[in-house]
Structure 1
Amino acid sequence: MRRAAFALALGLALAQPTHTVAPGETLYSIARRHGTTVEELMRLNGLESFLLQPGQVLRLPEKAPASRVHVVAPGDTLFSLAQRYGTTVEELMRLNGLASADLKVGQRLLLPGAQAEGGSTPPGPTPEAPSPSPPPEDYDPESPLLRAVLRYLGVPYKYGANSPLSLDCSAFVAQVYAELGVALPRTSKEQYQAFPPAEALRPGDLVFFSFGGKEVDHVGIYLGRGVFAHASSYGSRVVIESLEAPFYRKAYRGARRVMASPAPLPGPSAGR
Structure 2
Amino acid sequence: MRTVYVNGEYLPEDQAKVSVFDRGFLFADGVYEVTSVLGGKLIDFAGHAARLARSLSELGMKAPVDTDTLLEIHRELIARNGIEDGLVYLQVTRGAADRDFLYPDAETPPTLVLFTQAKPGLAEPDRAAKGWSVISIPDRRWGRRDIKTVQLLYPSMGKMMAKAAGADDAWMVEDGAVTEGTSNNAYIVKGDTIITRHLGEEILHGITRAAVLRLAAEAQMKVEERSFTIEEAQGADEAFITSASSFVMPVVEIDGTPIGDGTPGPMAARLREIYLDEARRKAV
Higher strand residue share: 2
- Higher Rg: 1
Structure having greater relative contact order (Cα 8 Å, sep ≥ 6):
2
TM-score (norm 2): 0.27
TM-score (norm 1): 0.28
